[in-house]
Amino acid sequence: MIDQKTQILNIAVNLNRIGNWAADGFDNRKKRIETFVDQTSDYVKEVDKSKLKNSFKKTFLTFLKNWGKLKRMEKIQNELLWAEKMMTWGNILTHRAKLLKKS
C-alpha cells in the first residue's frame, strides 16, 4: 500500500499532466486526458481521509469538493479554464503535501 504523502503527490502530478495536455490541445489529447482523470479518481478513492493530519485535511476536503466537478469532463465549457484549475490544484496539493509525513 502506498503511503498518504506519495498518493497525494501522485494525484498532484496527474492533475498537472491533465492540465498541461488540456491546455496544449484538449481535443487531440482527450482520450489520454480521460484515462488520467479515471486513474486520478482511483488514487483519490485510495486516500484514507481519516488518517490525514488536520493541517492538510481541510485542503484535501476542499479539493474533493472541486474534484467532484472537475472530473466530469462532459460539463467542461472552457478547456483552458478547466486546464488552469487542474494545474492550480496540482500545485496546491504538491505544496501542501509537505505537511504530511511518509509512513
One digit per residue, the tens of pLDDT, for the chain of length 103 reads 688 899 999 999 999 999 999 999 999 999 999 999 999 999 999 998 888 888 899 999 999 999 999 999 888 999 999 999 999 999 999 999 988 876 5
pLDDT attached to residue 99: 82
Residue recorded with cell 484549475: 85
| 14 grid coordinates | 496527474
- The pTM assigned to this predicted structure is 0.93
pLDDT attached to residue 50: 87
pLDDT attached to residue 98: 87
| 94 grid coordinates | 504538491
| 103 grid coordinates | 509512513
How many structural domains are present in the chain?
1
pLDDT attached to residue 103: 54
pLDDT attached to residue 92: 98
CA–chain centroid gap for 90, Å, is: 6
Residue 26 is classified by DSSP as T
pLDDT attached to residue 58: 93
The number of CA neighbours under 13 Å toward the Cβ of 11 is 27
Residue 34, amino acid: E
Q: Which domain holds residue 32?
A: 4-99
